Structure 1
Amino acid sequence: MGISPCLKKHFDELCLNSCLGLSSISYNDITPYNSADFIIKVPYAGKKLKWDILFDPDDFTFPPDFDFNDDCFLADPDLEILEQNAPSLENWNLDNPKMLAIILNEFLEYYKKLQIEKLKIENIYSRYYEEYEDLISGDHIKPEDVQVSVDSSNMIIFLIEIKLDLTALIEYCNDLELLDLDSNIQLKITINKMDGSNTKSYIQYPPQMEHLFGDHPALPKFGKEVPIKEYVAAVNEMLTQKISHITEGCRLRKEFIRSIYALCRSYTVEVDTKHFTRIIILAKHQEYSCLVTIIAGNKFPQEKPIIKLSSIYCQEGKSCNKILPKYQYNTALGPDKNAYNLVKSLPQLICQMKQHKC
């Protein structure tokens, strides 16, 4: 059974235009029991809280009820607590599609408040409360950038949003043109023992950036002797350097492909003008022609481009290709000079294809 039409705009707003805390959700996180009752998976500190939202099926203008499926969180809510921490619930407005997201965020903020209070009050966690206070006391990490979870097994999770300047990266990497400049990288730190002897860290990129970073880079070592604030600063520095490296690679790859195109404009068959990773030209030498595909990958210029020769004379149904293992390339020369040397050597290179046999 689907969502009632009068509620659909609320869930559209929630899934398409809003965030819950530090994360967004999709329709996959919402399961209808019927047209008026739902279970929603609310992201918090790297886990999913399962909250029930219960509407009056006879009158959706009434505020929804909530069941948080957690004996430690609003299991028997006091009216005054609700008024203080979720004031928008009383002001529910069916005509305002942002209302559901606003209310959920108010409840999530109260949930976070209780988690931090637990960190503060219980002596076993005192070290990490002090580290939390130290973390948010600087200029870079604000309270709204951090989520803290303390579970019944005494495991603590910090989810920290790291804000980086992506302007230059977006300028040179056209496939990131739709990336919001406010999109941030999230660092998850899991502390399994209170002495810090068993900790894990993990980093999550916005989906648009994952292919650029490839495999998740090795993070700085985090252990009991490293304060969280110091560790976050080390991760920030590592990511800043990584983004700078990727940006420079994108710039040089773009310059290389553009240089090839400028030298071979009249016989270019295809050029990738979005990612600047590939150009195909129809090269000719002594009445013999073949297609030359030049591919510059994400590790350019450290890794030389792939050069593939393809015959245009083979029998129908056959495709004869040859990858050139050796050709003149020197990282130190820069993209313009390497492009010039490659184009200059094309007649010699395609001679290798002229002698092939199908």
Structure 2
Amino acid sequence: MDVLDFLDPQVGKYVDALLRENNVGVCGGPLYVSDPKTGRHTIAKKHCCDRFKIQIPYAGNTVTWQVIFDSMHPSDPPDFIFTDQDLGFMPEVEEIKSLVNWDAEDTKSLTLVIRELLGTYKEHQRKLLGDRLQFEYNSLLETGKFTDIEVYHSRKTARGPTIVNFLIRLPVDFSNIPEFLVKDNPGEDAAILLVSFQNQEATKVSPQLYLSPRVEHVLGGSASLRIPAFQNGGCLMDYVPNVCQLLENMVDQIVKGFQKRKEYISAFLSHYGRAILEYDAETFNRISLLLDHSDFYCILHISIPTFFPRDQPHFELQSIYNMTTYGKLISAIVKEYPYSPRWSGNEMAERARVFLDQWIPEFKRTSMSGGRMR
């Protein structure tokens, strides 16, 4: 059941507006509301709760605050209870202007308060930084490029010192990524770097890169997203731009690769004409042709990789006559054909044609004898 079903309607209108806020903090994630309760001395029923917990994604963690309204006086602003994990966060009411100037008629009033509290919370966490991490934080800001940063201190435990998280949005431009790569993956494109310092002296650092689903898909999945290790004695001012540049280079390769794949397919369409069986006219990552050499026919399947032309296309010849003992058509992977990423699509197609004219007779002899070429 939806949490709004339990809230007093006069409280629920603020929460409903708050839950529509889907772009909170560096991660740009949604807020969550849970644990609705009532302050009245009655058994909790639907539509009578006036207090709840709000969960906010922040710096790789979840910050939980309790929000308390008074359903008997619904025009009054709410109170807040912060948890022990907030390390002494207790802002003065006068600092939160949207709370001082609470407008009960504006359904976005609670949203404005939460935004302002988050800004105050962010500054509070920054002030907890020691000298070394304060230097790291200020150095990033001074670049003028990495300004969307959240800092969070976890509690110190008996097993070790406080862990300090830096959550940094990387300003990578994803706008030129071809539409076909992203249209089925909703959500904002984002690249987020989480850097965890095991202590205030930054003697042990663990970086992790997080990408929105469609960006990860575009870049070829998690296997393609290895970032460099954080070197001992290094600093964020050097490390973060390097990771950002790595991503920018990958995106640039994707964009250029799409145009090159399109050029490549067009060249084969031009050279082979009616021999074309099918090709992908959206992603331009595959094409199949029916080849004829001295009345011997075979099919050439070409798969074009995401990072083309850096990565060479995959050629596979398939017989239309002969089968293996397992009932599959005999095929052969063509590995040593002429290729250079510096060639134009037209030259690639022309050189492939010359090579195949010389190579198909060998494939014919092998397939006719029931062999398998690899």
Q: Quickly name the TM-score band, shorter chain normalised.
A: 0.7 to 0.9
Alpha-carbon distance, 1:288 to partner:
4.4
Which residue in the other structure is 2:40 paired with? none
In structure 1, give the amino acid aligned to 2:283: H
User: Quick one: distance in 1 between partners of 2:106 and 2:297?
Assistant: 66
Which residue in the other structure is 1:355 paired with? 368
User: Quick one: distance in 1 between partners of 2:132 and 2:94?
Assistant: 33
Q: Are residue 137 (structure 1) and residue 150 (structure 2) matched?
A: no
Asked if the contact 2:34/2:52 (under 8 Å) is kept, the reply is: yes
Give aligned-pair identity as a percent: 22
Structure 2 vs 1, CA of residues 83 and 180 (structure 1 numbering), >3 Å: closer, same or farther? Answer: farther
Which residue in the other structure is 2:228 paired with? 219
In structure 2, give the amino acid aligned to 1:322: S
User: Quick one: distance in 2 between partners of 1:271 and 1:12?
Assistant: 45
Q: Give secondary structure in 2 for the equivalent of 1:328.
A: coil
Structure 2 vs 1, CA of residues 286 and 190 (structure 1 numbering), >3 Å: closer, same or farther? Answer: same
Asked if the contact 1:60/1:94 (under 8 Å) is kept, the reply is: no
Q: Give secondary structure in 1 for the equivalent of 2:120.
A: helix
The total of aligned residue pairs comes to 339
User: Quick one: distance in 2 between partners of 1:31 and 1:269?
Assistant: 56
Alpha-carbon distance, 1:112 to partner:
0.8
- 1:188-242 deviations in Å (ceiling 9; x for gaps): 2211133322112222223222131543223253333x33323333333333344
User: Quick one: distance in 1 between partners of 2:242 and 2:334?
Assistant: 39
Deviates more, 1:297-306 or 1:154-163: 297-306
Which residue in the other structure is 1:152 paired with? 155
Which residue in the other structure is 1:190 paired with? 196
Which stretches in structure 2 are left out of the alignment for 5+ residues?
A: 6-11, 38-45, 157-161
Which stretches in structure 1 are left out of the alignment for 5+ residues?
A: 120-124
Q: How does 1:270-289 map to 2 (within 5 A)?
A: 270-289=278-297
- 1:292-334 deviations in Å (ceiling 9; x for gaps): 321011243333211233455579x954252413342322434
User: Quick one: distance in 1 between partners of 2:105 and 2:270?
Assistant: 59
User: Quick one: distance in 2 between partners of 1:87 and 1:321?
Assistant: 73
Q: How does 1:281-320 map to 2 (within 5 A)?
A: 281-312=289-320, 319-320=328-329
Which residue in the other structure is 2:248 paired with? 240
In structure 2, give the amino acid aligned to 1:355: M
User: Quick one: distance in 2 between partners of 1:86 and 1:111?
Assistant: 15
Asked if the contact 2:59/2:166 (under 8 Å) is kept, the reply is: yes
User: Quick one: distance in 1 between partners of 2:308 and 2:229?
Assistant: 25
Q: Are residue 43 (structure 1) and residue 33 (structure 2) matched?
A: no
Deviates more, 1:98-107 or 1:49-58: 49-58
Asked if the contact 2:278/2:287 (under 8 Å) is kept, the reply is: yes
Larger C-alpha radius of gyration, 1 or 2?
A: 2
TM-score by length of 2: 0.73
Alpha-carbon distance, 1:89 to partner:
8.2
CA RMSD in angstroms, aligned pairs only: 3.9
Q: Are residue 85 (structure 1) and residue 96 (structure 2) matched?
A: yes
Structure 2 vs 1, CA of residues 91 and 288 (structure 1 numbering), >3 Å: closer, same or farther? Answer: farther
Q: How does 1:9-24 map to 2 (within 5 A)?
A: 10=17, 13-14=20-21, 18-24=22-28
Structure 2 vs 1, CA of residues 95 and 310 (structure 1 numbering), >3 Å: closer, same or farther? Answer: farther
